[in-house]
Amino acid sequence: MRRIALIAMALIAVAIVVAIIRGPSGTSTRGPYLVRAIFDDASFAAQGEDVRIAGANVGSIHSLGVTAAKKAAVTIAITDKRFAPFHTDAHCAIRPQSLIGEEYVDCSPGTVGEAPLPRIRVGQGSGTYYLPVTHTSSPIDSDIVQDISTQPVRQSLAVIINEFGTGLAGRGSDLNAVIHRANPALGNTDKVLKILAGQNRTLAQLATDSDTVLAPLAREHRQISGFITQANTTAVASAARAQAISQTFRKFPAYLAQLRPLLADLGTLADQGTPLMTSLGQSAGALGRQFANLTPFAAAARTSLINLGAAAQQSQASLLATQPLADRLNKLGTAGQPTAANLQKLTSSLDSTGGIEQLMKLLFNGAIAGNGFNQLGHYVRDEALTSSCTNYATTPVPGCGSTFASANAASASVATAHKSGKAAHADRVVAKAVQSASQQSSAGASMQGLLAFLMGKGQ
């Protein structure tokens, strides 16, 4: 078992080494990629000439040879490994490189989806990859075509054609294959004709549909010609601004990069605004009716707005003339701002401390105290109260508590004490004013009582 394990490990190591040497595509990683291409004719090809793919040099002709079937075998070496391996749909053609007879091999490596070319294991070209004659072509050189016009060659060509008529009498298919390989365009044309033959119904429908499409275009040919003319004018103008347009397209990616965050924000806004738009859509009918109802109002207001504009235009000079006064008022207001602030503080203090109420009480009580008048002038009323409670005592005397009578009782006692002449009448007025003032609880009420007294109400 140990020996079997060692043998298995050795085989795995050999397989890994072979895989590394062959590379991922099955080709050797050392040296060029060799392709043995079979041509009907390669008489003007030479060793060392270029091998091109899409116009770029990717290798050279490695060697030339002849197969057992009398075909030309051209071994090409692809040194640029980016174009290896070739696939089964690859194609190579020998083309003229210059007027002096130099030629090169123009190849197409095929599509990646196809299988790689098979490798020749034994025999001629062993180790190379085989490209059959059906995937090659040998175009006729221009000097051979030109030689046909000369007399000896022309006669020789006639003899050859006559002889070929006899020799190729039963080999028409072979001659057809050679002609197709000589010019790939003929083979491709044959394929195109087969495709068209299989699509004849589609082509017939295309012709019918094209007639349907072209008929309106024919009727509108003037508009189409005008469009072409305008397009020409636009193209000329664009050509004149080609540099600016090129600069615009050059800056466009940076603009898109800066625009992407804004579009993201707009997308978020659109998502968040969907409920609002839905509500607006539901209320669109009512809003439409409101705007419809506003139409008569707008029509009626148009005249008023026009008259207002005319009046504003007429008063423009007067309004401009008031600008100096407005400036002076602005200066006055700015200068009076500290005084107004102090006045606001004073009134707030008076309001919060009851200063206005106390002032009104002072005026009220002063007016009551000094409103007596006789032949000697104004006098202040006073009343001496004498009772058992006026004497000094160290112990409480029954009936002499410090509880005063109500304002009504005080007013009644004043009215009873003074019942003669104008003095009695004035006392009644004072009693009513006192009663009115005692029933109010704010500075405003005191002011009302004072005003009522001074204006003579209630007399």
More confident residue, 184 or 152: 152
Whether the per-residue pLDDT at 7 is higher than 70: the answer is: no
The predicted-structure confidence for 410-430, as pLDDT tens digits, reads as follows 445 544 544 444 445 545 545
Mean pLDDT of the chain: 76
C-alpha to C-alpha distance for 194 and 114, rounded to whole angstroms: 23
The tally of CA atoms less than 13 A away on the side-chain side of residue 284 is: 7
CB 34 within 8 A of CB 124: no
Structural tokens at position 41: 């004719």
Spatial CA neighbour of 432 closest among 375, 370, 388, 368: 368
Per-residue pLDDT, averaged over 233-252, amounts to: 88
Kindly report the number of other CB atoms within 10 A of residue 107's CB atom. 25
Q: Where are the alpha helices (DSSP H) in 96-183?
A: 142-147, 151-167, 172-182
Give pLDDT, residue 179. 66
Phi-psi group of 70: left, alpha or beta (phi > 0 → left; psi -120 to 50 → alpha; rest → beta): left
Whether the per-residue pLDDT at 195 is higher than 60: the answer is: yes
Residues in CB range of 114: below 8 A, 6 or more apart: 87, 88, 89
The predicted-structure confidence for 425-456, as pLDDT tens digits, reads as follows 545 545 554 555 454 444 445 445 545 554 55
Minimum mean pLDDT range among 105-119, 183-197, 203-217, 277-291 = 183-197
* Strand, helix or coil for residue 150: coil
Spatial CA neighbour of 47 closest among 64, 66, 67: 64
Q: What is the DSSP letter of 87?
A: B
Per-residue pLDDT, averaged over 39-56, amounts to: 87
Give pLDDT, residue 383. 60
C-alpha to C-alpha distance for 33 and 331, rounded to whole angstroms: 99
Give pLDDT, residue 159. 73
More confident residue, 44 or 382: 44
C-alpha to C-alpha distance for 435 and 410, rounded to whole angstroms: 9
The predicted-structure confidence for 158-181, as pLDDT tens digits, reads as follows 777 776 666 666 667 777 776 666
Per-residue pLDDT, averaged over 299-312, amounts to: 88
More confident residue, 348 or 384: 348
C-alpha to C-alpha distance for 409 and 417, rounded to whole angstroms: 12
Whether the per-residue pLDDT at 357 is higher than 60: the answer is: yes
Give pLDDT, residue 46. 86
Give pLDDT, residue 75. 94
Per-residue pLDDT, averaged over 136-140, amounts to: 79
Angstrom distances, CA of residue 185 to CA of 93, 174, 329: 12, 17, 100
Give pLDDT, residue 421. 46
Per-residue pLDDT, averaged over 197-213, amounts to: 79
Per-residue pLDDT, averaged over 220-241, amounts to: 86
Work out the percent of the chain whose per-residue pLDDT is above 90. Answer: 13
Rg over alpha carbons for the chain, rounded to the nearest Å, is: 62
Whether the per-residue pLDDT at 374 is higher than 60: the answer is: yes
Give pLDDT, residue 352. 86
C-alpha to C-alpha distance for 75 and 47, rounded to whole angstroms: 9
Per-residue pLDDT, averaged over 294-307, amounts to: 88
Whether the per-residue pLDDT at 229 is higher than 70: the answer is: yes
Give pLDDT, residue 101. 67
Give pLDDT, residue 23. 43
Give pLDDT, residue 444. 47
Q: pTM for the whole thing?
A: 0.33
The predicted-structure confidence for 387-399, as pLDDT tens digits, reads as follows 767 777 777 777 7
CB 104 within 8 A of CB 97: yes
Minimum mean pLDDT range among 10-19, 37-46, 293-302, 303-312 = 10-19
Give pLDDT, residue 132. 92
Residue with the two structure tokens 């603009």: 255
**Strands 33-39 and 129-131: what pairing?**
parallel
Structural tokens at position 163: 């002889």
DSSP string, 313-359: HHTHHHHHHTHHHHHHHHHHHHHTHHHHHHHHHHHHHHHHHTHHHHH
Q: What is the DSSP letter of 402?
A: S
Give pLDDT, residue 85. 92
Give pLDDT, residue 9. 53
Q: Give residue 283's pLDDT band: very low, low, confident or very high (50, 70, 90).
A: confident
Q: Give residue 76's pLDDT band: very low, low, confident or very high (50, 70, 90).
A: very high
C-alpha to C-alpha distance for 30 and 319, rounded to whole angstroms: 99
CB 431 within 8 A of CB 416: no
